[in-house]
Amino acid sequence: MSVHASLDQIPVMGGLDDSPRGRVLRAAAHLFRHQGYERTTVRDLARLVGIQSGSLFHHFESKEAILVAVMEEAIRYNFSRIQDALARAQTPEQRLRALVFGELESILGPTGEAMAVLVYEWNALSPSSQQRVLKLRDEYEACWLGVLEELNKTGSIAHPPFFWRRLLSGAIAWTSNWYRPGRSLTLQGLTDMVMAMAVPKQDC
Amino acid sequence: MSVHASLDQIPVMGGLDDSPRGRVLRAAAHLFRHQGYERTTVRDLARLVGIQSGSLFHHFESKEAILVAVMEEAIRYNFSRIQDALARAQTPEQRLRALVFGELESILGPTGEAMAVLVYEWNALSPSSQQRVLKLRDEYEACWLGVLEELNKTGSIAHPPFFWRRLLSGAIAWTSNWYRPGRSLTLQGLTDMVMAMAVPKQDC
Amino acid sequence: MSVHASLDQIPVMGGLDDSPRGRVLRAAAHLFRHQGYERTTVRDLARLVGIQSGSLFHHFESKEAILVAVMEEAIRYNFSRIQDALARAQTPEQRLRALVFGELESILGPTGEAMAVLVYEWNALSPSSQQRVLKLRDEYEACWLGVLEELNKTGSIAHPPFFWRRLLSGAIAWTSNWYRPGRSLTLQGLTDMVMAMAVPKQDC
Amino acid sequence: MSVHASLDQIPVMGGLDDSPRGRVLRAAAHLFRHQGYERTTVRDLARLVGIQSGSLFHHFESKEAILVAVMEEAIRYNFSRIQDALARAQTPEQRLRALVFGELESILGPTGEAMAVLVYEWNALSPSSQQRVLKLRDEYEACWLGVLEELNKTGSIAHPPFFWRRLLSGAIAWTSNWYRPGRSLTLQGLTDMVMAMAVPKQDC
DNA sequence: AATGAATGAGCTTTCATTCAT
DNA sequence: CATGAATGAAAGCTCATTCAT
């Protein structure tokens, strides 16, 4: 939760190697998450990476490009992971669980900082960058909608999938603000709770 | 969703009169919400209020003091409204509905922008300001916990109230990003949906 | 030496009554001396006087006018006191002593703060204000020169009166930075020391 | 005496090379002396140096840091020069003359502006900066006291060295306000005059 | 006379970005 | 590729002065 002084203490963000580019993105996700994008200077970022601020601009066109890359990398990496899991699931409810678990993992695991940046620094993006990122996001949301519609048809979910997804989305995203792993609640337990919200069991 | 050019187009934020102070806070809630705190300059703010930037500092000590005031005003106003509603409710479930509806109103009604600022600009606050605002928030959260514990004891809620509240909190807070009034979904309808998440009906 | 919070703790500056004007000048001498003219705001000044900052401008045209008044008042008051003492002195050496003692009094007594302001804030004055104050100063300096020339002619002073005066002037002015009354050194003792510098006794 | 428009017209301050840092300090000494510290803007300073105002902050942390550096540089440079001269002097009286001449040189020579800033802008320093500079000053004053005590013991000086030094200090410091080189009075002649004050000859 | 909100120019400082080395 | 000095626009904030009350 606190801001670290060395990159080594920051979890290796999923899918990012130790290339300069990867190191910058990891540091950026961390700082943007904990200090905010505007309050993070390129000097802060360079210091954490261990280079000079001018050198950042050999790897990225601008500070905003770094923000965009953090967001895109996070979406892409998690989307592909979740698609794999989806492919392995066999029932609609298993698919929903895969989505819930996958989204929780993306938010609470190694890509958590990047995902939080995606939420909290959304309007630091220029309109055109928002467009770019939105495209990726829409693909991903379409998955959710597909699964929820299946469940809606079978009667497991009573409410309009679009709205229901958004409520769940909020519940899941917010976990980054309170959930701490290694406590009484495991990621599986948390998934159970969210599933209990998503698909109320009417077991009589 | 877009940023307005005149204060008159901004909803009168609950509890704020037309005094200079009130006008500044309304404008600030609007701009901080849509541009972010850091990207809003005191000149932007002054322009929207219709005064000179220097004049802001007759009413507030600093830009951050404005942010704090926006947050505190919103919490205080909504908390008192919700306490009134709570007092009128008679069953635990009615009390929960009062909380859910009240929180949705605070987020989607006239204080919505201020409430979003509370969420999204939290770490623009200095540590000491966070402390101050946290105190107010804690009082409010205690209400929720009390009601959820009642429902937990009667068996209406199966999961630990503390975690359950946080999931609901996220689901509700997120509505500011997608719910638009006057569409197919009314505030009451939305409340029904959140209640369906919060207290799964096991009617068989 | 420290900056006071109430006018009552500041010595009544010679010649200034308790009129608003007098109160302002006393407060100004104090603050300008200890904080500097530029670092003293009109609000600081008003607070110490016990009025609002806008009200200062009913008594003085501008902040600089207050500075000028502090200086002029100090010169005028001390000049007339010193002229009286000069008139009572009968030998050239007595006259010199009157000048030395009078100047030390002006710097170390109730008008000390104002006199220090005269020295240290000289180039806070606009050129035209410098002219005005310089005129008063020149009259006063003419007295000194007259007396020193007398002593030069009698052989008591070997060096050119003009230069000699300037060296003495510096020695005396500087006492405001180190002399504290009520210690081992009285004002008379200090006068003796300065006289020893001014008129080296060749008693064999 | 007037404020110059180009750095080339300002005497090279002792010990300062043509590095950016040195150029800033020379310009600062000049402007702080003639306009006062508060009335000198960083833009004034940057313009005289020939850089942009933002660039100043690559070399110094703040405007005050520039003021401190001007003072420290002046003290250090002159102190070492004076210590060298002291080492070459053989009698107490020669040592005093070395001190007087050295101090006059520091005030009237290339470091004169910086030395005047040291006197006139003393309370523009924050308390902690005053502490820092005071430490250097104290070392220097200890030299003076040592020499004056020698002379006091031999009877050349009748008055307490501590007080005597302060009177001399004022007389010497003040020369910056009236002495102009190249006139009828040389620096050696001025030194003679100050020595005549400091050690009255009782030649009978 | 006194008030105190408002002004608006100007202050120091910050910072993403550039570019000669 | 990396550096780090330099840029210059823009930020938050200050403050002497004005003026309707």
Query: How large is the average pLDDT for residues B13-18?
Result: 73
Per-residue three-class SS string for B9-63:
HCCCCCCCCCCHHHHHHHHHHHHHHHHCCCCCCHHHHHHHHCCCHHHHHHHCCCH
CATH entry 1.10.357.10 includes domain C63-198: yes
How far apart are alpha carbons B71 and B67 in whole angstroms?
Answer: 6
Query: How large is the average pLDDT for residues A138-156?
Result: 95
Answer yes or no: do D39 and C39 touch at CB < 8 A: no
| Inter-axis angle of helices A92-108 and A127-153, nearest 10 | 150
Of C38, C167, C174, the CB nearest to D197: C167
pLDDT range class, residue B201, cuts 50, 70, 90: confident
For residue A2, CA distances in Å to A9, A30, A114, C58, C175 come to: 11, 10, 15, 55, 55
pLDDT range class, residue D14, cuts 50, 70, 90: low
Mutation choice for C interface testing from D174, D177, D180, D183 by most C CBs within 10 A: D174
What class, spelled out in words, does domain A7-58 have in CATH?
Answer: mainly alpha
- Residue ranges of chain A assigned to CATH 1.10.357.10: 63-198
Q: Is the dihedral of CA C15, C18, C19, C21 positive or negative?
A: positive
pLDDT range class, residue A183, cuts 50, 70, 90: confident
Q: How far does CA B88 lie from the centroid of its chain?
A: 21
Phi/psi of residue D187, nearest 5 degrees = -65, -35
Residue A150: the pLDDT is: 95
Phi/psi of residue D182, nearest 5 degrees = 80, 5
Q: Tell me the pLDDT tens digit for each residue of B167-176.
A: 999 999 999 9
- Residue ranges of chain A assigned to CATH 1.10.10.60: 7-58
Phi/psi of residue C6, nearest 5 degrees = -140, 140
The reply to whether C41 has its C-beta less than 7 Å from any atom of strand F is: yes
Residue B25: the pLDDT is: 96
Contact predicate D100/D168, CB 8 Å: yes
For residue D83, CA distances in Å to D12, D102, D148, D164 come to: 21, 9, 15, 21
- CA of residue D120 to C1' of nucleotide F6, angstroms: 32
Mutation choice for C interface testing from D165, D177, D197, D201 by most C CBs within 10 A: D197
Please tell me the pTM assigned to this model: 0.91
Distance in Å, alpha carbon of D14 to nearest chain C alpha carbon: 25
Which two structure tokens, joined as six digits, stand for C38? 């530029």
Residue B89, CA atoms < 13 Å, CB-side half-sphere: 19
Instruction: Return the amino acid letter for A64.
Output: E
How far apart are alpha carbons B194 and B187 in whole angstroms?
Answer: 11
Residue C14: the pLDDT is: 67
How far apart are alpha carbons D125 and B111 in whole angstroms?
Answer: 47
Q: Tell me the pLDDT tens digit for each residue of D125-144.
A: 999 999 999 999 999 999 99
Answer yes or no: do C166 and D172 touch at CB < 8 A: no
Q: Tell me the pLDDT tens digit for each residue of A28-49.
A: 999 999 999 999 999 999 999 9
Structure-model confidence comparison of residues C184 and C34, the more confident one: C34
> DSSP secondary structure string, chain B?
-PPPSSGGGS---TT--SSHHHHHHHHHHHHHHHH-TTTS-HHHHHHHHTS-GGGHHHH-SSHHHHHHHHHHHHHHHHHHHHHHHHHH--SHHHHHHHHHHHHHHHHHSTTHHHHHHHHHTGGGS-HHHHHHHHHHHHHHHHHHHHHHHHHHHTTS--S-HHHHHHHHHHHHHHGGGT--TTSS--HHHHHHHHHHHHS-----
